[in-house]
Chain A
Amino acid sequence: MGKRVGLEVTVAVAEAVALCRIDMAGVYPITPQSHIAEHLSNLVADGKLDAEFVTVESEHSAMSAVIGAAAAGARVYTATSSQGLMLMHELLPIASAMRLPITMAIANRAVSGPLNILNDHSDIMPQRDAGWIAVFAENGQEAVDLSIAAFKIAEHKDVMLPVSVNIDGFQLTHMVEPVILPSQEEVDAFLPPFVPHATLHPSNPVTMGAFSMSDYFTEIMKAKDEAIKNSRKVILEVWDEWGRQFGRSYKPVETYRAEDADILMLTMGSMGETAKIAIDELRGKGVRAGLVKLRLWRPFPFAELKAAVKNAQKLIVTDRAVSFGGPGGPVFSEIKSALFAQARRPSIYNYIIGLGGRDMAVSDFVGMFDQVLADRAQAKADTYEFWGVRE
């Protein structure tokens, strides 16, 4: 049985990763991720984790090194944030094309400029098309559970893809929360040893990362797209199995008081918890409000999303990033596209919120509901605005 302890979330995540018996980690320091790297290196230094901890000289090399080690057949881990993730950007689609099951924590943080070290989702959004499975945690326990489950999903023989576990910077990474850490025996029972599809070893000399001309490139892209789409089945299975073994189960889309709701709000990451309180407050006033939490960003959970919003009149999509000069926030445009062909779909409103660590109180969430409810002509549907911006 695992024990319930009070831990900073980064430390809890590092402990969880150590329970997965990684062979190698390559991590470069960046706020607010660094505590993961520090705690992992402590565990190695104290002999509690038998792994090579490579102190790379950049995030680009962090991703390069874990790609190399994964190709050699090792179970690998890295973590980053913001500018570090942007520096890795080049390598992310290569890791997924090579089908290397790398697990990475992203302590989500605003992207420069100007420099800002606080939380939003502008780092992960530009990685949308990298071919990585992307999941979002709402609290410390989820960060632990989803991190361990990530290894199992990534390494499943029908998946073999990298996974990012998104954990809001500071708002989540630096919270001290009560967390149940599973025991080593429990994790060993849950997570089988990594069996790679190919390895860099002289006993069977293979070539990885071969060059492709137009004769094969389309087929390779199609195969990668099918691979990530097919990972959905394994993600559902692994999260169900986690639920059976540990009593906490996860779904690609989760809802709160949504069944009979006229008006829904969609969040990703840690702000779901504040939004929940706003929902309760609105329900207390007789507003039939509900919450939809998007946990799985890639592969996009189309069926689950459609089912979750099918009865609502209005849907407020919150975005933690901007698509400058685009159709609205990145999540908003995906949701609109997902619902476009539905015969009956809610009017969709978009608020860009909580940029660069801007605090979002319960009253802010209530305020968004109030605005949307007041919009009887639905004049503001299908457009976006920056919540709380000084005019």
Chain B
Amino acid sequence: MIREALLVAGKDLRLEWRSKVGLVQIVPFAILVLMLFAFALDPDRGVLERATPGLFWVAVLFSSVLTLQRSFSVEAEDGVLDALRLSGLAPVSIFWGKVAALTAQLLVLEMILAFGVAIFYGTTFHSIGLLVVVALAATVGIAASGAVYGALAARLRSRDTLLPLLMLPLLAPVLISATRGFEIGLERQAGGGWTWAALLAVFALVYLILGSLLFRPLLEDA
């Protein structure tokens, strides 16, 4: 199963590497969002600085939706999803492969965004350990729930408008927890950052299990 999942993940990452859509479209979009926040919130009044954790994660969420759409629209075209089903790969492996590839892509995106906030918002990073764990747990959660809804919306004609509507409310707890985790990690606020990391881990775990169970009916019927 792990070998099959790696195969799917490898295929997705290779595809991204060659097409560079993520690099030339999604990354610039994410940076653009950071700049838009600066235009909307006066940088001289400290609002931007105080809101950095939240703005960072909002930028991640918006870019994630784009990444997801991209990851599944390449499957939906030309009946690739059917080909995947016929390839003899277990649906569970396809799910884990998708999650792995999405996680990798989103982590790269987050690293670039972290540089972005360091440069544009003048953020300095403290408790690196907590920040990394929060980001990792949140990203796996986004990737796992996103793989389920991405596959579900892939064959819908109105997927571009439906996916954000489905994904963003689902990710509300991720936004809350990751933002609070980062606030504590950046030492803006005292408190137990690890509780938030734990909640994010629970979210990720729940959707990894749910996705493993639901991916078969998803591929076959949805």
The answer to whether A and B come from one shared complex is no
Where the two chains meet, the residues of B that have a C-beta atom closer than 8 Å to any C-beta of A are none
